[in-house]
Amino acid sequence: MAVSNQLTRVIRVSFGIVLTVALFSLLSAIFLSSRSEDILAADDDLGRADRSAPGASGISLPVREAMAAAGSRFVKSWCVRRTARQEEVEQVIQNMETQERSRVFEKIFREDYWGGGESRSGPGSRKDYTANVRKLLALAIKTYGVKELLDSPCGDVNWQTLTEGFNATTYTGFDIVPDMIRKNEATFQGWPNMKFARVDFTNTPIDETVRPDLIICRDAIQHNALKDGLRGLANLESTGAKYILTNWHSPPRPNKDIKFGDFYLIDVFTRPFNFSKPEMFISEGVNGHNSEGKFAGLWKLPALLKGDGRPFRIPESLVLKARQHVVTSAELEAELIRLQRPGGLQA
């Protein structure tokens, strides 16, 4: 038994020594593979150090400080290189996703999959259906002095140019479908205030020259997986825009994770989007009526993750008003206060 215990201890010690040597070799290899300028910089630091006063370790304090500085530079350099590599790989993945997403939406556009009739972007882009959305956009342009619009995705731009005040703005339309972009460029070639570009807003970094005051991102997020919707909204917010116009459905429902090109009834107020209450909103549809409880709203940016994640229930009195008129945040707050008073039940 004693021999067995002694043998076990020898094995453990030997294994520890081997492991230590292997780890030291790995760290040495990593260090030696660092860029030559890091090594040269370390030599410079060591050359300036005072070796005349070794401490308990046999290395003087200035030398220890110089070695620490050199190690710090190496670690930072190595981490930056890893980050750049990861970003490179992530970009390849995003490009693959964009190509796959493009194929899906090209098929939808080509086959008029959503059956929009007058618009390949679907029935939600018909002129009669978007009358209230145009009211909301026109009021936003007037109220906030909007000069630059970014519409992403823009679809076939069936309704946007009918908005009051549109001609006084500069409009940029993004879409993932190449044929859609070519069609729009041909249709609106005589409009000096309009330009288009093929951009996957969920993946493509937006050119820093695009600096909109207001972003239209309507009927888009709910056709993407939740992570892509989040990434797309964050990407749009990175433009520095002040406002965003988008849509949601009421009453509240859980947001579903889907394959891009599918559809779910989106609730921007709950997880994972967590929007706060809008600055103004209106009901969508012909004469403000639709079968999905769909609303369009305007938010100050940033809007993503600025709310508490709780559902937003519109008072019934404002649902009725929103079918014909834009409801402002001041009107909403006044109505919510009224309903909190004794006897202030919803009609």
The model's pLDDT over 10-46, given as tens digits with 9 standing for 90+, comes to 455 455 554 454 444 444 444 434 433 433 343 343 3
pTM over 0.75: no
Residue 23 lies in a domain: yes
pLDDT of res. 234: 96
Q: DSSP letters along 163-179, please?
A: STTGGGSEEEEEES-HH
How far apart are alpha carbons 247 and 5 in whole angstroms? 72
CB atoms within 10 A of CB 190: 6
How far apart are alpha carbons 135 and 90 in whole angstroms? 40
Residue 100 lies in a domain: no
pLDDT of res. 12: 59
Same domain, yes or no: 58 and 187 = no
Same domain, yes or no: 78 and 140 = no
pLDDT of res. 22: 47
pLDDT at 72 over 80: no
Residue 334 lies in a domain: yes
Please provide the size of the chain in residues: 347
Backbone dihedral angles phi then psi of residue 25, each to the nearest 5 degrees: -65, -40
pLDDT at 301 over 70: yes
Helix (H) or strand (E) holding 95: helix 61-110
CB 174 within 8 A of CB 199: yes
Same domain, yes or no: 76 and 129 = no
The model's pLDDT over 220-234, given as tens digits with 9 standing for 90+, comes to 999 999 999 999 999
Beta bridge partners of 194: 171
Same domain, yes or no: 293 and 160 = yes
pLDDT of res. 121: 82
Same domain, yes or no: 133 and 58 = no
CATH number of 266's domain: 3.40.50.150
Range(s) of the domain holding residue 271 = 123-340
Residue 329 CA: distances (Å) to CA of 97, 277, 278, 324:
38, 8, 7, 16
Same domain, yes or no: 193 and 269 = yes
How far apart are alpha carbons 71 and 58 in whole angstroms? 19
Which residues are CB-contacts of 202 (< 8 A; sequence separation ≥ 6)?
97, 101, 224, 228, 229, 231, 232, 235
Residue 92 lies in a domain: no
Last residue of a domain, one of 56, 83, 110: 83
pLDDT of res. 110: 75
Mean pLDDT, rounded, for 106-129:
80
Residue 347 lies in a domain: no
Q: Is the peptide bond before 153 cis (omega within 30 degrees of 0)?
A: yes
Same domain, yes or no: 55 and 196 = no
Backbone dihedral angles phi then psi of residue 204, each to the nearest 5 degrees: -80, 125
CB 305 within 8 A of CB 294: no
Same domain, yes or no: 12 and 160 = no
Mean pLDDT, rounded, for 302-324:
95
Last residue of a domain, one of 83, 108, 141: 83
Same domain, yes or no: 176 and 280 = yes
DSSP type of residue 225? -
Same domain, yes or no: 66 and 161 = no
CB 197 within 8 A of CB 171: no
How far apart are alpha carbons 149 and 23 in whole angstroms? 57
Same domain, yes or no: 244 and 294 = yes
- State the total domains in the chain: 2
What is the amino acid identity at position 287?
N
Secondary structure of residue 111 in the 3-state scheme = coil
The model's pLDDT over 335-344, given as tens digits with 9 standing for 90+, comes to 999 988 876 5
pLDDT of res. 123: 86
The model's pLDDT over 125-155, given as tens digits with 9 standing for 90+, comes to 999 999 999 999 999 999 999 999 999 999 9
Residue 291 lies in a domain: yes
Same domain, yes or no: 22 and 153 = no
Tell me the residue ranges of DSSP E strands in 42-175. 148-151, 170-175
CB 300 within 8 A of CB 237: no
Last residue of a domain, one of 61, 83, 105: 83
Residue 151 lies in a domain: yes
Residue 206 lies in a domain: yes
